A = this chain, B = another copy of it.
Amino acid sequence: MRYLPLTEADRRSMLATIGVDSVDALFRDVPEGARLPGPIPGLPNHMGELQVERHLSRLSTKNLTAGCVPFFLGAGAYKHHVPASVDQILLRGEFLTSYTPYQPEVSQGTLQYLFEFQTQVALLTGMDVANASMYDGATGTAEAVLMANRITKRNKAILSGGLHPHYREVTQTTCGVMGMDIQAQTPDPAGKEDLAGLVDDQTACVVVQTPSLFGHLSDFTALCTAAHAKGALVIVVVTEVVSLGLLTPPGQMGADIVVCEGQSIGNALNFGGPYVGLFATREKFVRQMPGRLCGQTVDAEGKRGFVLTLSTREQHIRREKATSNICTNSGLCALAFTIHLSLLGEEGFSRLARINHANAVLLAEKLAGLKGVEVLNDSFFNEFTVKLPKKAAKVVEKLAKQQILAGVPVSRLYPAEDGLEKLLLVACTETNTESDMDALVRGLEEVL
């Protein structure tokens, strides 16, 4: 076994030092009936590297790779181009094979990038402070609702009909078990929802999303004013973080907590994970914030350095009184985010956002020209909703057979809802060429 450096001679000599005859003696506390005499039955023995590569490569080729086809899926996960240097830095053993920076003197690399990440997230969202990442956008959203509950001591959360239904489900699951009253609104494909009227003095928070699942953009300034007047918080969710390169940030609208899915920057699609949740809030709420935090300090010689801080909020100190049970975050994904965003910079990030928007505008115009196809959006960033004359899921399946991945049928996310089955979410990023777009148009012409 190539990963195991002990030889039989080593093992014998070590057993002699320990003073036992065999390894089995070390397992003497295991109930006898549970001690297996040999390898677990029914499983194969070890394979060489070449064999493992063959096995996994074979599985991988059974999938239709996004980069090989015209590709227009979004709905919370986006295909963007990540510079090659990002992954190469990530693969440096000093980053890849390190643990949570409990020993700051030998973890300043990890700690400094976390501090940079927190700053970047605060800047993008327009908020005061951010944590060192969450598992993903949906878990971050659930944590934000629980945080609002802790801050307001209120029990009710209103979830927008524009919120990604998976985010809604994770919030319902997580906060439901805590006994919160989660009021999820019906899907809002038209983007006309107004939640201000629903906020009352039992409301802990309102959770809204921009761009919404259906692509609509909103300014939540009025909602924030209204909610704050009732003592409720507003949580703004962003599932496509590239939109923050172009649009007014939630912080400027008055949001109290901003949660984003950060996958778009630095991270591959990965069939849904690992991703990275961004979590930002107001300074005054920082001690109610879940997750790890990196803070600036000085060392014994007075030099600037970084440490994990405010850990009295966390489970390993506070145990059942912790703000969250979260322990591992998405460190490497956060690093990818930080490197990619550093490469983009102000100019690059803003241009990337404008390219995404421009490509989507171009595609929307092309699709709007198709007979029977209606673009539902007055506003959007890089994703919008089209109404097809047929069931979207069937259309998508047919186009997939032609090696075109056309978008996400809304019915995949809302299978039980009437009136949504003809809706298709279509995303367009900097990775889509005009010939990709034309292939989609031709494909739709054929199958519609």
Q: What are 12 A-B contacts with C-beta separation under 8 Å?
A: A2-B343, A49-B81, A49-B83, A49-B84, A50-B81, A50-B430, A50-B431, A53-B81, A88-B91, A91-B91, A92-B92, A92-B93
Interface residues of A in 1-41 (CB under 8 A from B): 2
Can you name the residue of chain B whose Cβ is closest to the Cβ of A80? Answer: B50
List of B residues within 8 angstroms of A2 by Cβ? 343
Q: How far is the CB of A344 from chain B (nearest CB, A)?
A: 10
Interface residues of A in 287-336 (CB under 8 A from B): none
List of B residues within 8 angstroms of A49 by Cβ? 81, 83-84
Interface residues of A in 64-114 (CB under 8 A from B): 81, 83-84, 88, 91-93
Interface residues of A in 117-143 (CB under 8 A from B): none
Interface residues of A in 334-369 (CB under 8 A from B): 343
Give the number of chain A interface residues (Cβ < 8 Å): 14
Complex: A65 Cα to B93 Cα, angstroms: 30
Can you name the residue of chain B whose Cβ is closest to the Cβ of A348? Answer: B2
List of B residues within 8 angstroms of A343 by Cβ? 2
Q: How far is the CB of A127 from chain B (nearest CB, A)?
A: 29
Q: How far is the CB of A133 from chain B (nearest CB, A)?
A: 25
Can you name the residue of chain B whose Cβ is closest to the Cβ of A88? Answer: B91
5 nearest CB pairs, A to B: A50-B81, A49-B83, A88-B91, A50-B431, A92-B92
List of B residues within 8 angstroms of A81 by Cβ? 49-50, 53
Q: How far is the CB of A68 from chain B (nearest CB, A)?
A: 10
Q: How far is the CB of A66 from chain B (nearest CB, A)?
A: 14
Can you name the residue of chain B whose Cβ is closest to the Cβ of A48? Answer: B81
Q: How far is the CB of A264 from chain B (nearest CB, A)?
A: 15
Complex: A63 Cα to B158 Cα, angstroms: 56
Complex: A50 Cα to B429 Cα, angstroms: 12
Complex: A430 Cα to B53 Cα, angstroms: 14
Complex: A83 Cα to B49 Cα, angstroms: 7
Complex: A49 Cα to B431 Cα, angstroms: 11
Chain A 421-442 against B: per-residue CB contact (8 Å), 1 yes, 0 no?
0000000001100000000000
Can you name the residue of chain B whose Cβ is closest to the Cβ of A2? Answer: B343
List of B residues within 8 angstroms of A92 by Cβ? 92-93
Can you name the residue of chain B whose Cβ is closest to the Cβ of A67? Answer: B57
9 further A-B contacts with Cβ under 8 Å, apart from A50-B81, A88-B91, A92-B93, are: A2-B343, A49-B81, A49-B83, A49-B84, A50-B430, A50-B431, A53-B81, A91-B91, A92-B92
Interface residues of A in 388-434 (CB under 8 A from B): 430-431
Q: How far is the CB of A296 from chain B (nearest CB, A)?
A: 26
Can you name the residue of chain B whose Cβ is closest to the Cβ of A61? Answer: B68
Complex: A93 Cα to B90 Cα, angstroms: 12
List of B residues within 8 angstroms of A83 by Cβ? 49
Q: How far is the CB of A282 from chain B (nearest CB, A)?
A: 35
Complex: A93 Cα to B2 Cα, angstroms: 26
List of B residues within 8 angstroms of A84 by Cβ? 49
Q: How far is the CB of A342 from chain B (nearest CB, A)?
A: 12
Can you name the residue of chain B whose Cβ is closest to the Cβ of A52? Answer: B84
